[in-house]
Structure 1
């Protein structure tokens, strides 16, 4: 409405402006000045200032004079062209007043050139002062860095602790625009954690000699002091990652370090690489609770987890990649309770899980993938109780389960995929007790369910697709006892490109009763089970 009412006024104003003398030339001049201004602003990217600082002062002044002369010539020529290129009138002789005017203009030109030279000299002096100040700041930083690093190498634990805090404050005080200095401090702290670390001494026997007891006490004291320094480093890093500091988004390399506890609670991983490859997590509790994974890469590839707890409870995985590929879980607990997976790729591919517990209790899976592809489970346990799969993929493709348990009881699947294709089940249990399968897909394609139990007891199937095409079902392994079906589909046979693909083995317990009990939905039986 306003646009329609104002359009005639705009057009009328444009006609009036265009009817002015030299309107076309003024328009072209405006375009030319705009192009020149943009070129000058873009010239900053050419580091002209840096080149001017490196050149000799006389050369810079000469260039400044040339630029001033060129600008004056450009202004005069442009004005003459805009005014219609009038023919200049040259008088036969100059009166004394004209000579005075010429002399005045000559003095003005000389004064202008002198002012340009003074500006160049002032600029060079200012830049020289700034560079001197910068060198002084860098020198002070280097001195503080050397002092703090020496403290970190002290034989006394108290001095090393002081060195840790000194380095942390040094990184916080690093000059603006010099994030490489912050990274340098981080590299030193991470390198300390990667250094060899003597384990806690074994307990003494009752019949130990006084010499053995004295040696034990000395080793225990050394271990405790070293552990406190290492825990302090982890705590300092965690505190800086949990607030908006310049430490966020940097690279952290803990490769091969031995970690027996630490606190990264609330840390923000928004960029950079955080590497725990080949680390040994032995005992203690390492907390990543309520951490934010919004970018970058966090890698635990090849790490070993022994008899400890690593907790990601209530963490949010929205971007980036978190990898545990090829890791060894030899006891202990890995917790993802109440975590949210909405964009990150989390991989446990080809890992070995023995006597360990993975807990995804109450977790939400919205996007991307959490995968245990080709993982080897032995006496392991994965708990998805109360989880909600409403997007993305939870994958166990090609995993081997021996004497292990995967529990998805009380969970809900409304979208996405839970994929157990090509798994091998040996004396193990996969449970969907009292689960609500309301959408998405649950796949067991080409799986070998030889022994153990795959249970959908008391589960509600409503809109979900269960796919067993190509699976081998052992006797009394799969059960649908007391399950309810109110829509959806259970597929044991499928035709593809004029070829029949079917499940083989024994018919699941309760499947016939489910089909004959008035189930609303579709069950595709193999011919052998008719």
Structure 2
């Protein structure tokens, strides 16, 4: 701009002098020449002044930028210095110095939001260091007499020369855990859906969007209730005491591969927005997942539940995979919603397995599963195929009022106790080929809209189909009955293409306007009927 003003001044001077040269008389010409020189020099001077002002502004801006960089560099150096000193304190032999280092790191992170993930990484790295809890702490925790967090720091005991005092180190680790919990758990007045709107600042105690990597750590009485974190790794973690995650929100991956929960594991009301994987984990105490929400894939491959496990009213939006899982005690899946595939292939249920009112929107796989206790599926809804091929039911299997919209596969299944399918609805094919029923097989009031196929099935106890409705074909080729099957009041949908194979001793009544079955008395006379026992009568 300054050069433009100077150029305009020179141009104006030349033009005005040229105009003045043609003016007469000489006196007027000289006057105009003087005015032209005056205006031209003024414009040049103005350009010079503008240039000087622009130079001054640039110098000022440069000075301010240098000052800002100096201040930022000084702040960065101060933070780095504080961080370095605090980190060095964590390696000190004295527990008090290590505690001071933890609190110093917390202050650095609180005052500098950009450094929070780095500080959390340091705390996690410290907790990942090898550690063996004191023997008395393990004993107290196992017996439930004294919580780990209540153990006092010993006094008057010299530090070992070759290792840190385990009791003092316990307090240091508990402090590191409390720092993480204090800043990763939402305040009581903040809902999880409000967390993303929180602006990080030195005055905000909650730290948003933090990752945790605690792979292989030993955590004592871990408490992250109402936590809100991003990606977490608890792979191979050993949880001593109870582990509390109630109402926590995991916004990224939540990995618990091979983790060991020595106390109760409480995940009530937890939200997993990404993948949740517990493959190979061991739960020694109660495993509570009631009301949990799994929006991604939930993996529980070969998980061992040694105590009661509860998934009541949990929601699985992605696949729920429990293949080869071991349930040593009662397993509760009442009113659970499985929106994706549900896989329990070769799972072992040693206690009662309760799936009352559960909803399976996609394929449900229980093939090869073992149910040693009562298997409860009353009022369960299977919207697609339900596979129980080769499953073993040692106790009573209850599927009363269940709905099977796809193929119901019970081929080669073994029912050692009673099998109750009263009022069940089979809207697709019901396949019970080679199935074995050692106790009462109850299908009273069941509706078979698709084909009902029992080829080669074995009924050792009563086979009850009282009041059942067969809309599709009914086929019992090769089926064996230890007692005459009960098919009174059965209704059959008449059509020309029916291909039924009814049990021996029963056939469609001729000339009936509505399909019903009748006994063939001569055939019944040839069947040996064993006496009923009190156990079978009550089954």
Range class of TM-score, shorter chain: 0.5 to 0.7
Specify whether residues 71 and 149 from structure 1 end up closer, same or farther in structure 2 by C-alpha distance, changes over 3 A only. Answer: farther
Deviation at 1:186, TM superposition (A): 1.1
1:287 corresponds to 2:237: no
What TM-score do the two structures reach when normalised by structure 1?
Answer: 0.67
Whether contact under 8 Å (2:256, 2:277) holds in the other structure is: yes
Which residue of the partner structure matches residue 199 of structure 1? 133
1:383 to 308, 332, 354: 332
Gapped regions of structure 2 (runs ≥ 5): 9-14, 21-31, 141-154, 187-197, 201-205, 448-464, 480-501, 503-539
Q: 1:117-136 to 2 correspondence within 5 Å?
A: 117-136=55-74
How far apart, CA to CA, are the structure 2 residues paired with 1:111 and 1:398? Answer: 87
Q: Give me the whole-angstrom Cα distance separating, in 2, the residues matched to 1:297 and 1:69.
A: 61
Question: Which residue in the other structure is 1:274 paired with?
Answer: 232
The one of 227, 232, 235 aligned to 2:175? 232
Match among 23, 27, 38 for residue 100 of structure 1 = 38
Find the aligned partners of 1:379 and 1:334 in 2 and give their Cα distance: 12
Matched residue pairs, number? 406
Query: For 1:420 and 1:326, how far apart are their aligned partners in 2?
Result: 20
Distance in 1 between residues matched to 2:471 and 2:96, nearest whole Å: 71
More strand by share: 1
Question: Is 1:258 paired with 2:218?
Answer: yes
SS in 2 for 1:472: coil
Q: 2:396 matched to 1:396?
A: no
User: 5 Å matches for 1:75-474?
Assistant: 92-94=18-20, 95-96=32-33, 97-174=35-112, 179=114, 181-201=115-135, 222-243=165-186, 244=198, 247-269=207-229, 271=230, 273-282=231-240, 284-293=241-250, 295-306=251-262, 308-317=263-272, 319-329=273-283, 331-341=284-294, 343-349=295-301, 351-353=302-304, 355-361=306-312, 363-365=313-315, 367-372=317-322, 374-377=323-326, 379-385=328-334, 387-389=335-337, 392-393=339-340, 395-401=342-348, 403-409=350-356, 411-413=357-359, 416-417=361-362, 419-425=364-370, 427=372, 429-432=374-377, 435-437=378-380, 440-441=383-384, 443-444=386-387, 447-453=389-395, 455-456=397-398, 459-461=400-402, 464-465=404-405, 467-469=407-409, 471-474=411-414
Q: Which residue of 2 aligns with 1:83?
A: none
Report SS of the residue matched to 1:314. coil
Question: In the TM superposition, what whole-angstrom CA distance separates every residue of 1:61-96 from its partner, at most 9, and x where no partner exists?
Answer: xxxx7xx769999xx9xxxxxxxxxxxx99843443
Task: Answer yes or no: is the 8 Å Cα contact 1:377–1:399 preserved in 2.
Answer: no
Q: Highest CA radius of gyration, 1 or 2?
A: 2
Report Cα offsets for 1:441-464 as digits up to 9, x if no partner.
Answer: 46125x31134246225x3335x5
Indicate if the aligned counterparts of 1:278 and 1:302 stay in contact, CA closer than 8 A: yes
1:364-393 deviations in Å (ceiling 9; x for gaps): 316223321x333162542123x342x513
For residues 478 and 526 of structure 1, do their structure 2 counterparts lie closer, same or farther at Cα, with a shift above 3 Å needed? farther
> 1:393-444 CA deviation, whole Å, 9 max, x = no partner?
36234333163542223x342x624722433326455322xx4335634612
Equivalent pair of 2:352/2:372 in contact (CA under 8 Å): no
Deviation at 1:240, TM superposition (A): 0.9
The more displaced of 393-402 and 120-129 is: 393-402
- Unmatched runs of 5 consecutive residues or more in structure 1: 1-64, 77-88, 205-213, 494-501
Q: How far is 1:285 from its partner?
A: 1.0
Q: Secondary structure, in 3 states, of the residue corresponding to 1:186?
A: helix
Residue 305 and residue 399 in structure 1: after superposition, are their counterparts in 2 closer, same or farther (change >3 A)?
farther
Say what the alpha-carbon RMSD is for the aligned residues. 3.7
Equivalence map 1:472-491=2 (5 Å) = 472-476=412-416, 479-481=419-421, 483-485=422-424, 489=427, 491=429
Look up the match of 2:442.
Answer: 510
Contact residue 476 and residue 509 of structure 1 kept, 8 A? no
